[in-house]
């Protein structure tokens, strides 16, 4: 990752009302896409104009809000490659106030094709800063693939914050440490303003003892960044993508719909009062301006614990 200066401030200049959030966790199947689809659809239903940017070649966020493959002429791939402006890629979804910059399978190639390209981690940030029409959105929510490759780096570089869905399992904490290191690297190299939006526990089975232990351990590290809303395991949430519908349209009375509706409300509440201050467990910014591309410091909690040392 090359040092490129204070990109985030250039990108967001004059756009105080728009917020860009990457939903990321390099672990597969932790509900990144489910969270993108359902958070975005609920906040748009609450009157916030929202754009989903689908950076995952699996394109599950695209199909999950009812965008048909055949209707996609240009995808976010073309925008990343510089072959189309972002504004031409965006499609309306069937839901009022919800828009999608769709993914396509060609994104698989983008990881390779961009390897030797100039400003390769900045492709999405550049597209956003060059497209004034993006100003119209209240929130831009980016779905990322299950890796910390170039697509996820583009998402983290273009975003103000990262929302982390996590499952309550034994190895989740290791994964969190790795993601945290990547966030620190991005802060040092391309996006000093990046911070953790929050962490959401997904697919929770409240009866499992391990669940409570994992939640307690993560709270030690991320404190109030951990969302109070918890998403239970709910079959209706798993079924909805097969019908190309967010849960609010598939079964609005299900437990899954209720959980994501509460999550959306908590998200909006947190964003209505948010002040951009250094946050629990992620206070280190010094490397950001120094031009020093050395590895990120080990993640430390506010109490001086190292995340790697947190064991169940």
Ligand X SMILES: Nc1ncnc2c1ncn2[C@@H]1O[C@H](COP(=O)(O)OP(=O)(O)OP(=O)(O)O)[C@@H](O)[C@H]1O
- Residue 245 near which of ligand X, Mg ion, none (CB within 5-8 Å, type-dependent): none
For residue 265, count CB atoms less than 10 angstroms from its CB and return exposed for 0-12, middle for 13-18, buried for 19 or more: middle
Which residue, 82 or 146, is less far from Mg ion as judged by CB? 146
- Which segments of the chain does DSSP mark as H helices, in order? 7-12, 32-45, 60-64, 76-80, 86-89, 107-113, 123-130, 150-158, 172-189, 209-222, 235-239, 247-250, 255-273
Contact 11, 160 (CB under 8 A): no
Rounded to the nearest whole angstrom, what is the least distance from the CB of residue 261 to ligand X in the complex? 13
Which residue, 201 or 221, is less far from ligand X as judged by CB? 201
Residue 50 tokens read as: 């929202």
Within residues 147-206, the interface with ligand X by CB under 6 A covers 202-203
Contact 93, 45 (CB under 8 A): no
Exposed e or buried b per residue across 77-90, where buried means at least 16 C-beta atoms within 10 angstroms of its C-beta:
bbbbeeebebeebb
13-21, 27-35, 119-127, 155-163 -> range binding ligand X (CB under 6 A): 27-35
Rounded to the nearest whole angstrom, what is the least distance from the CB of residue 199 to ligand X in the complex? 14
Interface residue list for Mg ion (CB under 5 A): 32-33
- Residue 231 near which of Mg ion, ligand X, none (CB within 5-8 Å, type-dependent): ligand X
Within residues 80-109, the interface with ligand X by CB under 6 A covers none
Tell me the number of residues near ligand X by CB under 6 A. 20
CB atoms within 10 A of CB 43: 23
Rounded to the nearest whole angstrom, what is the least distance from the CB of residue 22 to ligand X in the complex? 13
60 binds ligand X (CB under 6 A): yes
30 binds ligand X (CB under 6 A): yes
Within residues 210-239, the interface with ligand X by CB under 6 A covers 231, 233-234, 237-238
Which residue, 12 or 260, is less far from ligand X as judged by CB? 260
4-12, 28-36, 179-187, 291-299 -> range binding ligand X (CB under 6 A): 28-36
Strand order, beta sheet including 139-143 = 91-92, 98-101, 50-54, 139-143, 19-23, 161-167, 195-202
User: From the centroid of its chain, how far is CA 108?
Assistant: 19
Q: DSSP letter string over 50-77?
A: EEEEE--TT-HHHHHTT--GGG-SS-HH
Rounded to the nearest whole angstrom, what is the least distance from the CB of residue 25 to ligand X in the complex? 6
Contact 2, 191 (CB under 8 A): no
34 binds ligand X (CB under 6 A): yes
**Of 19, 32, 181, 195, which one interacts with ligand X (CB under 6 A)?**
32
Closest CA to 219 of 153, 260, 172: 172
Which residue, 7 or 155, is less far from ligand X as judged by CB? 155
Binding characters for ligand X, 250-289, by CB under 6 A (x = yes): ------x---------------------------------
Q: DSSP letter string over 181-193?
A: HHHHHHHHHT-TT
**Of 8, 33, 129, 301, which one interacts with ligand X (CB under 6 A)?**
33
Q: Which residues bind ligand X (CB under 6 A)?
A: 28-34, 56, 58, 60, 146, 202-203, 231, 233-234, 237-238, 241, 256
């Amino acid at each position: 990752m090359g040092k490129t200066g204070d990109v985030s401030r250039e990108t967001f200049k004059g756009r105080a009302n728009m917020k860009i959030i990457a939903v990321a966790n390099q672990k597969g199947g932790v509900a990144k896409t489910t969270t993108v689809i359902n958070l975005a659809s609920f906040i748009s239903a609450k009157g916030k104009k929202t754009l989903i940017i689908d950076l995952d070649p699996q394109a599950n966020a695209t199909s999950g809000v009812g965008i048909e493959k055949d209707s996609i002429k240009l995808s976010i791939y073309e925008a990343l490659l510089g072959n189309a402006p972002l504004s031409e890629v965006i499609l309306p979804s069937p839901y009022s106030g919800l828009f999608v910059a769709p993914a396509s399978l060609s994104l698989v190639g983008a990881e390779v094709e961009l390897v030797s390209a100039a400003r390769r981690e900045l492709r999405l940030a550049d597209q956003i800063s060059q497209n004034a029409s993006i100003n119209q959105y209240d929130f831009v929510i980016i779905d990322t693939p299950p890796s910390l490759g170039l697509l996820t780096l583009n998402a983290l570089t273009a975003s103000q914050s990262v929302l982390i869905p996590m499952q309550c399992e034994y190895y989740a904490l290791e994964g969190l440490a790795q993601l945290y290191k990547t966030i620190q690297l991005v802060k040092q190299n391309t996006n000093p303003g990046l911070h953790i939006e929050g962490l959401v526990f997904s697919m929770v089975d409240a009866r499992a003892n391990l669940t409570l232990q994992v939640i307690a351990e993560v709270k030690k590290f991320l404190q109030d960044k951990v969302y109070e809303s918890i998403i239970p395991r709910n079959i209706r949430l798993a079924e909805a993508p097969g019908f190309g519908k967010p849960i609010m349209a598939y079964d609005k009375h299900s437990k899954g719909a209720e959980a994501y509706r509460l999550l959306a409300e908590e998200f909006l509440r947190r964003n209505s009062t948010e002040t951009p201050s250094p946050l629990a467990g992620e206070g280190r910014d010094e490397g950001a301006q120094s031009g020093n591309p050395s590895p990120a410091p080990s993640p430390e909690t506010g109490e001086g614990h190292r995340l790697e040392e947190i064991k169940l």
